[in-house]
Every structure is written in C-alpha cells, then in structure tokens.
Chain A
Amino acid sequence: MKKRLYLELENCIGCRSCLAACTQCGGHEQRNRNYVYDVNPFVNRQTMPLMCLHCVNPACARSCPAQAIQIHETGAVLSALVEKCIGCQNCTIACPYGIPKFDTEQNLMYKCDMCIDRSKDGIPPMCASVCPSNTIQWLSDEEIEAKQRQFNLNNGKWVTSMPYLEGETNVKVNLPGILQGVTKLF
C-alpha cells in the first residue's frame, strides 16, 4: 500500500529529532536536509518542521538546466545527481519553500530525497520514524482521508493545506489549528 509523508504542524514540540535522524538514513552523509522553525519565539513555543513537499510538478526540477534533479517512480523528488549538477543554484531560488541546500565545497545541491532507500520499500523515512510528537507521519491515502474527515471545522472550512499549498504536492500538510474541530468527550 502506497504511503505518503503527512505533516500535522500543530503537534510539533521543537525537539529537532527529525534533523538529527535525517543523517541516519545511510545515503545522507551526515548532513540533514530539513528545517525546524520557531514560529513566534518571543511569544510562545510553537515550532514547525519544513521539509521538501515533493511537488507533483516540482519547480526545482523544472528550473534545473542540467536535468540533475530526477523524480523517482514513487513521486519522490531526488537530490541532485553528482555527475549532472553544475552548481548553478537555480533550484534553491525556484523552490517556493526554500528547500534545496547547497554545498559550496562540493559545488552540489542536496535536498530531502524522502530517504528513498527506505521509502521505495514502504519503510518510513527517518524523520517520520523518530518524530516523538507524531508531527511527521507516514500514512496511506485512506488514513490521510480519515484525518481530513476528523479535522473538519465547525465552520465548514478545512484547517488544512489539503489538497495542496502552491502546486499539488505528494506530502500532505495540516496547518496549526486542527484541534478546533474536535468534539470533546464530555
């Protein structure tokens, strides 16, 4: 059963375990590829992770003059191929979320590849595996639909980016606020 990365930003506790774990997938050479932001640090402790959303029609790949950014059959948008990347950094500007990172020493772009060696076999990426708060989850489409039903707001609107933020993405994101729609037990 195909699974996707699903983010429930409200849950994030800012532990950065997703960053620490990113280096552990084997193909990532001890460099993490995602981000965690303090949303409003002077006011409260809300944080949120941001990783590549694996766009269906990725701006990064489109902007690449060397076709260095490949799209895996699972939909994962891969890190730049060493032999093709010319280091122009177009992708870092093209991505609407500022995801691709650049290694100036190697003159090479690197980004989240959804831990492709894990996810191609249905094994969750490292960030989703370790996230202690279930901010980052690895779910089937049915499970994601159930989430969508569960977090329906009283006002009839979704507090969610579903189906997508800018363009359609393979990763599904739920913005803070999901709890507003929950009916209390008593």
Chain B
Amino acid sequence: MQRDKFFKEIENVRHPNETLIKTHCAYCGMQCGMNLRVNTQTNKIVGVEPRYDWPVNVGKMCPKGVTAYQQTNHDDRILKPLIRDDASLKGTTKGFREASWDEAYDLVASKFKELQDQYGKDSLSVFSGVSMTNEKCYLTGKFARVAMQTRYIDYNGRFCMSSAAGGFLRSFGVDRGSTLPWTDIHETDCLFIAGSNTAECHPTSMFRVWHVQERGGYLIVADPRETPIARRADVHLDLRPGTDLALANGILNLLIQNGYADEEFVNDHTNGFEETKELVKEFTPEYTSELTGVSPEKIIRAAEIYGKAPNAIVMFARGIEQQHKGVDNVSAYTNMALVTGKIGRPKAGVATFTGQGNGQGGREHGQKSDLLPGYRKLTNPKHVEEVCQVWGITPEEMPQPGVSAYEMFELMEEKTIRGLYLLCSNPAVSAPNQNFVRKALKGLDFMVCSDFYLSESAEYADVILPSVTWSEDEGTVTNLEGRIIKINKAQEPIGESKPDWQIQVELAEKLGRGKYFSHLKTASDVADEFRLASKGGYADYYGATWDKIDKQDGVFWPCRDENDPGTPHMFLDKKFYHPDGKAKICALPYRPPAEEPNEEYPLRLTTGRVVFHYLSGNQTRRIQFLRDMCPEPYVEVHPETAAKYHIEHEERVRLFSRRGEAVYKVKITEAIRKDTVFVPYHFGHEQSINLLTIPALDPISRMPEFKACAAQIEKLEMKKVQ
C-alpha cells in the first residue's frame, strides 16, 4: 500500500441492503478509484461511495466520476440488437427494428463476406477506441487481423494520445505516458504544465498541484486561456494556439545560455545536444515572444524557475499534442528535462495527461494500424513472428499495416473501404472536418456499430450491437501513470447486451474463424492470452496478473514475470530504450500552424473540454446533473474582441471556417487571448465544433490539428431598438 500525506484511513459507509464493488471510473486517464454501491436485492448499481484507500485519488472524484454509475441502468441503453433495412435513413435515428443476436450476426457475417468476395479482404475496416479494457483492445486488434482479415484497423487514440506516443518513442525509445507515479507530483518543486486544462480534464490531480504551491514550489502554465489552473500559476505563458514549439525552443535556449544544462547527464545519457543547442540559439526571448505572443519577461522568468528548481516535472496534454506538429511539441518540451537532467529520479520527470481511461494500454496492444500487442511493430518480421505464434496464424496471413483514423475516412470516401465495424468511439462527433467524415460514413456499403447508447455515429449504422458499460464487465486498464489496474464487474449486463470481447468471439465463429477465438470463454481467458501476447515486448504485461494488481494497488509496466513488482519510476538507472541506451535531445525547427489567420478568417479557433463532459459526450450528455451544468456548447470570446464584432454575452453568433459553420452562444471572458476563440467539442450534429476544425495531420502521429485553425464570427441578431 502506497501511503502519502493525503492518505487517510477512513472506513466506508455501508448502506442497508447494499454491497460495495471496488473499481475505477469509466472516464478519463486518471482512472480514479471508486466503489459502486450495488443493491443486494435487485443486484443493480444504485450509487457511488468514495474509495479512500486508492493511492492516486484517495476518494476524490470529479462530477463525471460521481455520476458515472448512472450510465448503467439508464433509459437510453440499447437492450437488443437493432437492424435498419432502409439504408436511405442513414444519418438519422429512424428505421431501426429489434432483432435477435443470431439474425444480427448472420447479417453482419453475410454482408462482410459479400463485400470481401467482391472487393477484397481490405474492403472492410475497424474503427475502435480506448475507453475499454486492455483485454478488449487486444482482442479487437486480433479480431480485425485474424477474423476480419483486413489491414484497416485504427482507433480514436489518433485523436488523443498518438502525438505523445510518437514524441516519447523518439525522445526515450519507449512510450510510457509518465516517467513517475502521480504520488510524486505534490513533492516536486516546480510543475511546468503546457496545454493541459488540468482542473477540468484531470481534476483529481489538482490537490497535488495546489500542494506544490502551498509548499512554496512553483507552477508554470502554458495555455492560450487563463484556465482554472492557469489562474493560480506563478507564470502564465499565454501563448497563441499552435506556437508551442517556438515557446519550448525559446525556453530551452535560455536554459542552455544561462548554464542550467547538466553537462554530465547530457554527455553520458543523451544524443543530439550540440545540434539542438545550435538550432535553438535563434529563439531569443524577443524572437520567441514575436512568434508566441508571450512577453519576453514571462519567458525569461519561466526558464529561470524551471532551471533553478532542484526537482521539476514537465507535463503536457492535448493542447500541445493535437497539432500538426504535435510529436515535435512533445519532444521539444521533453528536451527541457533531458538537457537539465531533471529526469530518471523521483520527483523529476515528464508526463502527459492521458485523455481516455485506457489511452495508455489501448495504444500498446495492437489497435493501431501498424502495431501488434506489447508495442510490437507490424513492420518488424520478428515481432510478427512472435505474435503469430500466440494467434496460431502464419506470418503470410498477417495483414499489412493500414492507415490512420482520419485517413480511413478518406479511403471510405474513395470506396477503397466499403464496410466498417465501429466500436467504443463516436467519430461523427470527434473527428475533424465533420462534413467530410459524415459523408464518408453515409456512403459506406455496410456499417455495424457496437455501443450501449445510440451515438451520433450509430445513426449511420445498418446494424447496432448492444454492448455493455464498464461496470458490467471486468478486465484491466492502464492509467495515466502506466499503472495497470483492475475494473471489476458490479452487475450483470442489462437486457441482451454483451461485452465486446464476447461479441467478437461469437462473430468470429460466424465468420468461419471460430477456431482462433472459441477458447476465449471469459474476460480472464482473454487476459491470459493477452499477457502472453505482450510478453517480451516493450509494453510487457506478462507479470501483471489480476491477483498481483489487487495485492499491490496496481502494477506499473513493464512487468516481465511473476516476481517482477513492476516499474513505478522509469529510467532510474539512466538507461533509455534506444539501442545505445541514450535518450535523444531533438533539434526541431519551428513551423507555424497549418492554417494561419488572415483578413477573411482573422481569429484563431481552439477547442477543448469542460469538466462536465467526456469526449464526444455520448455518455455524459445523457446524465442529468452533467447536462444541467453544461447543456450546450458556447464560444468563449474576449470582451475587446466581442466589442469589435458588436456582440454581447449570451447572444447567438455564427462561427465559421473554410470547412464548416455552426451557431453558438457567446460567453464573454477576459480569461482568453484577444486573438483566440474557444469552443468545447463534446456536442453533436449541428452543434459540433469539429464541423470547423482542420484535418491537417502530424507527419508522424497522424494527429489532426484540433487545437488551431482560422475562423471568423458573424453577428446574427440585430440589436433590438428600444
């Protein structure tokens, strides 16, 4: 049991006729521990009780976590498979009829076969997500390649964690979201947080963040908006959206110029320093200020604090990653830690705030177009060989790498991909350039969607398979620390819903590939095969048994065998994962955002989350409390900008970009840059801000640039004459 100063021995309240099932939240990467209250007479989930003894959040939860239990027995749950015979109704909620599982499976199998017979194996695709257990993520990768035999599989992590993954792989040779456990955060001396609205997106980190300041430590926040965390920052670097790379280079330059580089560490454990030093020379405080819009004084002060701090942690999130240079941004901020040697020891390191519950685990085990379990590569024959042995197929049968999430929609549009199996994701809200994406979905010959609510994306499906919520299945997820934890089942699936792993095992049978799946009868069977498939990879989960997870309060990967306790701190031996054991300091030339403002589109549009909703909002928009708190999107505008457009608070305006438009209520606040507007992205249909966002992709991670594009506001209402 890891007990820090926030840990308090508290006994849980037990209500009459109720039992508590310990588990974790359904939503973000914090994966807060919680207890679900289950009525012992009805065997239904009825509420939540804090899990005070979970070391990461010690009972704390954000409002999403507190109300998460309301998803399970919600009136909107899909209870039976649904079939829509009239394809002309695609894109609406109309025309679905209830069907038996057999009829639904048979229809899916025959349509898949029809398409593959006519257009080849690769005419089918899988689009999945990482808000589900490692077991499901693993099996989805196997299902695509072994049961559907297609190369086209990718997942919503491309809109979430792929830039962090790409940056860490380049800098460290390994992609574990945090180099240290979250219980180190409050003990460090300086937090440098870039592009993370921590208080709204990972709220249960906040008691640790504030404690750094309470101890006299420093908080530096880089964000175009004065978010609730930036409000209290010692230095708020209020940069223009999409200019992080310049800021990171500018700070690195100052760190080097002012003697904060740790020469011994740089020499012994890194490559690339000299070249990087040369490149960042150009980024003087004045030049950096010109590019970023942050005053030179603030840049100098931030560098001084980070440089002086005995221990410091650099943290970041989607703000820097959802750019068409997201990977460069990650490596550039990571450079700060590598050059100053503030890494590879407790209380110092680098971390990204993982967005989705299993954003870490879900990207490691083969849902990505080019990856296989254990972070193995499809392009590496040895890796393919290893996985084939577990799967019982030959390397010749293993499909080639496919394409990234957004590029799959392009292939749908041009009819290379004709069929889609969508699960655990809602791209009709979350993908950029919605007008294009929705057209691509509508044009599919056949689409099957597995979900527990009828999402905006499910509106494009021919068949909907009812899956279960997180509380009706068990398995592991990997939280934002890299800690593998256990989700427990609190009630039986309602109606005829089934967990996705079971759906895949049964559907594989119908596709004539049953022999590769039929031995998987329980989630724990899938877990055993999954651990084996990861064995020997970078992300080795072999030693992370459910039993050990329970005993140790989670297991940090890598965990290679039964006796390995796991790895809470990475790089304590100063060994990185590149072949020569060194980390890479990266020389990264600055590039502006793909679309810069001009006269026609003078505003910078950026998007993000609010504390009350999660991702596409398919889950949280249905929870009464969360909907009451934030019923609709809005556009945040600085009062001076609002005055220029003669628009007022709560007035509805038209916001548009080169790709699309939407109407939003104005929310006036000084807590945003004058050249920037912000809209939360959790809303669907005509309210979706992704109608406007740009599909400019990062060359490595294929992450779209959600965080910066050019837009314009048009006033709709004429002021009433009194």
Contact = CB atoms under 8 A, between A and B. Distances in A.
| Pairing of A with B | yes
A124 B10 contact: yes
Interface string A1-42: 000000000110111110111001110000000000000011
A66 to B, nearest CB: 30
Contacts of A63: none
A130 B61 contact: yes
Contact of B199 (A15, A42, A129, A185): A15
A149 to B, nearest CB: 13
Contacts of A118: 13
A46 to B, nearest CB: 6
B630 to A, nearest CB: 10
A10 B15 CA distance: 34
Interface stretch (B446-454, B507-515, B665-673): B665-673
Interface string B199-218: 11001111100110111111
Contact of A130 (B47, B50, B189, B668): B50
B13 A15 contact: no
A151 to B, nearest CB: 9
B488 interface: no
A23 B330 CA distance: 41
B647 to A, nearest CB: 14
Interface string B203-238: 111110011011111100000001111011000000
B200 A15 contact: yes
Interface string A129-159: 1111110000000000000001000000000
A26 B60 contact: no
A124 B625 CA distance: 22
Contact of B60 (A42, A123, A132): A132
B231 A132 contact: no
Contacts of B612: 16
B308 interface: yes
Interface residues of A, number: 39
Contacts of A41: 669
B210 A133 contact: yes
B203 A129 contact: no
A143 B598 CA distance: 56
Interface string A146-186: 00001000000000000000000000000000010011111
B207 A132 contact: yes
A121 B14 CA distance: 12
B52 interface: yes
B639 interface: yes
A186 B234 CA distance: 13
Contacts of A84: none
B31 to A, nearest CB: 14
Given A20-B625, A124-B10, A45 B611 contact: no
Contact of A184 (B207, B210, B216): B216
Nearest to A185: B216
A123 B228 contact: no
B591 interface: no
A15 B50 contact: no
Contacts, number: 129
B370 to A, nearest CB: 37
A9 to B, nearest CB: 12
Contact of B13 (A21, A43, A117, A133): A117
Contact of B639 (A14, A42, A179, A183): A42
B435 interface: no
Contacts of A19: 63, 625
Contacts of B308: 186
Nearest to A11: B210
A47 B199 CA distance: 12
Nearest to A117: B13
Nearest to B210: A11
Contact of B629 (A10, A16, A42, A132): A16
A91 to B, nearest CB: 25
B213 A179 contact: yes
B663 to A, nearest CB: 22
A20 B13 contact: no
A106 interface: no
Most buried by A among B189, B207, B211: B207
B456 to A, nearest CB: 25
B680 to A, nearest CB: 14
B272 to A, nearest CB: 29
Nearest to B189: A185
Contact of B649 (A16, A42, A150): A42
A113 to B, nearest CB: 14
Nearest to B625: A20
A19 B628 CA distance: 12
Interface in B38-72: 47-50, 52, 57, 59-63, 65-67
B11 interface: yes
B228 A45 contact: yes
A184 B61 contact: no
Contacts of B10: 123-124
Given A13-B203, A42-B670, A182-B214, A130 B227 contact: no
A133 B199 contact: yes
Nearest to A23: B625
A26 B47 CA distance: 9
Nearest to B212: A185
Interface in B435-474: none
B581 interface: no
Interface string B627-645: 0010000000001000000
A44 B226 contact: yes
10 tightest A-B CB contacts, nearest first = A13-B199, A132-B203, A20-B63, A134-B207, A20-B66, A185-B216, A13-B228, A133-B206, A129-B50, A132-B204
Given A118-B13, A131-B60, 5 more contacts: A17-B60, A42-B649, A121-B11, A182-B216, A186-B189
17 contacts: A11-B206, A13-B199, A15-B62, A16-B629, A17-B61, A19-B625, A25-B13, A43-B670, A129-B59, A130-B59, A130-B60, A130-B66, A134-B210, A182-B213, A182-B216, A184-B218, A186-B308
